[in-house]
Amino acid sequence: MNKTNLKKYARLIVRTGANVQKNQPVVIVSSVNDAYFTKYVVEECYKAKAKSVSVEWNCDDVDKLVYKYTKVNVLKEMPEWRISKLKYRAETLPAMIYIESSDPDALADIDQNKMMEVRRAQGPIIKPIRKEMENKYQWTIVAIPGEKWAQKIFPNDTKTQAMNKLWDAIFKCARVEGDPVENWKNHNAYLLEKCNKLNNLGIKTLVYKSANGTDFSVDLIKGTQFMGGGSNTIGGVYYNPNMPTEECFISPNRHTAEGIVYSTKPLSVNGKVVKDFAFKFHEGKIVEVIAKDETHKQVLEQLISLDEGARQLGEVALVPFNSPVNETGLLFYNTLFDENACCHLAIGMGFEDTIKDFEKLSKEEIKAFDLNDSIIHVDFMIGSADLNIKAILEDGSEVVIFNEGTWAI
């Protein structure tokens, strides 16, 4: 792969993704297989005058062995050093850069019950610490090709061919060609314009219909707003949490989801790919999981049983079906990309920064909005070429906002 493009991508991640500030510590989470690229990100952080740069290495093969051989009661333990590390992070607020390249099927053979038990045990410990950090620091999730991931997407190619093709797709989706920093300024401005149009409508309810059987509605919360592109920390630092991103999103009223939604792309849950499923909602909660494969159904039922909020919606996201990600014609088996290929919903935690002027509100005032709360946030894709979405406005009138899978406003 061309070194110039790798360095351009690394600079984009640091300057536009995480927007690393002078004298700010940085933590990078990356695979041991990706050191060849991670070093460029480290260098760019120092060029941005970072105070320090730490790399936390991971490895799919090691993670699999840990889950395979370690007893569940040991895995469920949260060692004091890990808690101290998270608390230190909450105090120092480093910029966090997550570089993904994992095999979507990395943990497919691991007992899902075991993994869910670990999440259920550790989630309540981790959650309040992360809550303390929320909206106070920059973070970004990006991706580079991993061999197994690339060959899952391009099974008929050699490893080298598959890696090169996935690099090309990632560069296209992340707008690396030309001047990537300028590309992202323009893209963020475009998404902001779409969000402003949505916010000015005064939407009360969104209604979804598609030929695949999706027939669904959900209410929005008065005083919340659509967001897209970059975000601001409470301190006013602008950054891009996801690269790529094509969505305008909002946290809905968690008590109001009604009807059925069918998935249109596979979803990786705890290292296992599930597909061809649907969720039936009533009074805001998932009341039935439908799936062609019984094993996939069990995985999803375990997921939504992690806590009360896991059955309710934390996010509604609007993404045109003709997005650059979808136009690659690829199924990425990775939520970062597939969620930006078409419209999606997310079960689990809602986003406080979708509340207007949230940074000026007290914890009690934010709590009054009753956003969904959970230890998880899992996106699943529902967009299609014939998806229609209409908005019922507060005055009772209706506006079509998506027609045949893409923007109508």
pLDDT mean by block of 10 residues, the chain; 409 residues: 91 98 98 98 98 97 95 96 96 98 91 91 93 93 97 96 97 95 96 97 98 98 96 94 97 98 93 94 98 96 96 98 93 93 97 92 93 96 97 97 96
Domains and CATH numbers, the chain: 3-173 (3.40.1830.10), 201-232+239-407 (no CATH)
pLDDT at 354: 96
pLDDT of residue 117: 93
Tokens of 241: 């949490």
CB of 183 closer than 8 Å to CB of 175: yes
pLDDT at 267: 93
| Predicted local confidence at residue 131, as pLDDT | 87
Query: Which pLDDT score is estimated for 112?
Result: 86
Query: What's the confidence (pLDDT) of residue 377?
Result: 95
The pLDDT, as a whole number, for residue 336 is: 94
Residue 100's pLDDT is 97
Is the previous residue joined to 145 through a cis bond, with omega within 30 degrees of 0? Answer: no
Encoding tokens for residue 316? 């509604």
Res 271: pLDDT? 82
Strands 248-250 and 313-318, how do they pair? antiparallel
How far is residue 240's CA from residue 263's CA, in Å, rounded to a whole number? 26
